[in-house]
Amino acid sequence: MRSGVFNLVCGALLLAHDTAAQALSSSKWVLRTEGGVQYACKCFPGDRCWPNDAQWQKLNATVGGNLRINIPPGAPCYNTFQGPLGNVSTLNAAECEKVTAGWANEQFQIELPAAGLWTYFTNDTCRPTTNPSDTCTLGYYPVLVIMAKTAAHIQAGINFARDNNLRLVIRNTGHDFLGRSVGWGALVINTHSFQDIKFSKSWRGVGAYTGSAVTVGAGVQAFKVLQQANALKPPKIMVTGECSTVGVAGGLVQGGGHGPLTNLYGFLADTALEFKVITADGKLRTANANENPDLFWALKGGGPASFGVIVEASYKTFDDTPSAGITLDINTSHTTNATLFWEAVRKFHGYSTHFVDKGLYVYYELGLAGQSLHVHPFVGIGKTLAELQGIVKPLFDDLDALGIRYTTSGQSFPTFYDLYQAMFEAEFAGNSALTGGWTLGRTDVENNHDAIIKAFQTILNAGSFMVGHMWNAGHGLPQKEWNNSAVNPRFRNVVDKLITLVPVSGNAPLSEKATAQDKLTNVVDGALRAASPNGAAYINEADPFQPDWQTAFWGTNYPTLLKIRERYDPNGVFYAVSTPGTENWAQIETGTRLCRKL
């Protein structure tokens, strides 16, 4: 309960702890204690500071009637949705059938107002069911959503969340492993409607660059911009993620943005020319090399949902070229001999430095189907199939010498875009898992490779599996440009970026979740960190609860990022787990309330 005494105590405590004391001592903060630690928490449903109906109605009018109560996607399969703002009858057989059919489809989930493509951090609540009498609650899904159509709608949402001290989530596609697109008790600003794409043959903005460029709205996904770029004459290409459904103007670039072109041009962040961004004060700013250059630098890999909401982003584009791809599969249909299989894996991965030095990008999965290595594909951009075959020939010679069977195929394409469409496999949504990962430093692969392979074995023996992306973000990017973005400098000297996954249900008992998290942090990723001490972690695809995450994610860039965060968002209007400035924030009370330590 709020009281004058509470406000005095809260204010005194906060004044002693940080420079944001005046703001935090406001009656909009809620005092909580957990584990002997005192917290000032954001305002959530049921708190006296939660906005009343009139305030929400006013916000709805301000955003053009685009505010809506969030109902979980699976609710049509249930008689009743039991939400924090009241119960709603939701059973709809036709809609239930549609949700059930689309649950594993990424684009289906992306088009929803506030779904997360991976369900662990939603608490796995209200999944599609055949028993409508089951219980459907909100879990950790957000409470309300602004389906923003204009920059003014985003500004109104930020201002409302800031002035009422609400947890704020920025959501474009929900394409996120770490739960940043959902959040208990939160207000979401959905930016997916910003779909403008504009190409220019010559960039006329700030900076020395005068080549071709593209400007995209916040909601544009990779497949859409790549499709339009390919239709140009001559066809163009840009750095995007490996997955075609990822948005290209939000969390991807703020995390860095690696993909098949990284070996040639660096991260997506390295190709950024300018942003239109709304900061925590609600102001729409331009960020480029001359205007707000510190913000520009931080937005290029400094952490998603940390410095502002990107409304529009401009990037370099490049000429697309003929390309080639090769696949490789080794699984139990080829051998059941574990010793032989792991020797084949050792041979394959031992060529990682060779592959990236020759300009290749290699995407592979290890252990997804038990004893299996699935390389799909080796990518040679600007190479003929014969040239690509020549680069990978030493590996295949070694596999032949081992006497191991395998399946392989190769193909040439008129452009990389055609290869991208044909050879990269669709990904799926709706699964629940904890995600970790680590990158492997070149020196570690060269000097400690046997330990790396033992770490891979540890991962599979723990019931986990991994996805690898062989690239080097410094290979094709001039060294003088390496520090122009905020990504960890160590990425310029790695040869493989790994994602690790530990399957666990989002509604599992807390003890089971704790065990899974310990396995991910200390066994699975712990083995990789020990084997590759010169590696790093990629903020969009890694364990946010790993030790010393500041150094793991940003290395020597972290102190500068922290200062920039304090300048543009001193009171924590934006939040994403383990990003600059969140050291004193925690989700307490079983991962629900977002609070700041006092």
**N residues, the chain:** 598
Q: Which helix (H) or strand (E) holds 108?
A: helix 106-110
Question: Which residue matches tokens 């791809």?
Answer: 325
CB 434 within 8 A of CB 362: no
What sign does the dihedral 121-122-127-133 (CA atoms) show?
Answer: positive
Residue-wise pLDDT tens for the chain (598 aa)? 233 322 322 332 333 334 444 445 557 899 999 999 999 999 999 999 999 999 999 999 999 999 999 999 999 999 999 999 999 999 999 999 999 999 999 999 999 999 989 999 999 999 999 999 999 999 999 999 999 999 999 999 999 999 999 999 999 999 999 999 999 999 999 999 999 999 999 999 998 899 999 999 999 999 999 999 999 999 999 999 999 999 999 999 999 999 999 999 999 999 999 999 999 999 999 999 999 999 999 999 999 999 999 999 999 999 999 999 999 999 999 999 999 999 999 999 999 999 999 999 999 999 998 999 999 999 999 999 999 999 999 999 999 999 999 999 999 999 999 999 999 998 999 999 999 999 999 999 999 999 999 999 999 999 999 999 999 999 999 999 999 999 999 999 999 999 999 999 999 999 999 999 999 999 999 999 999 999 999 999 999 999 999 999 999 999 999 999 999 999 999 999 999 999 999 999 999 999 999 9
Q: Which domains does the chain have, with CATH numbers?
A: 4-41 (no CATH), 53-190 (3.30.43.10), 197-319 (3.30.465.10), 323-553 (3.40.462.20)
CB 195 within 8 A of CB 219: yes
- Pairing state of beta strands 465-470 and 494-503? antiparallel
Which amino acid would we find at residue 159?
Answer: N
Return the structure tokens found at 536.
């790093």
Taking residue 450's Cβ as centre, other Cβ atoms within 10 Å add up to: 11
Among candidate residues 217, 154, 139, the one with its CA nearest the CA of residue 189: 154
Cα gap 93→310, rounded to integer Å: 38
Bridge partners of residue 272, in order along the sequence: 315
Cα gap 70→123, rounded to integer Å: 15
Which residue blocks in 351-409 are alpha helix, DSSP H?
Answer: 352-357, 385-402
The C-alpha angle with vertex 409 and arms to 406 and 410, in degrees rounded to 5, equals 145
CB 435 within 8 A of CB 178: yes
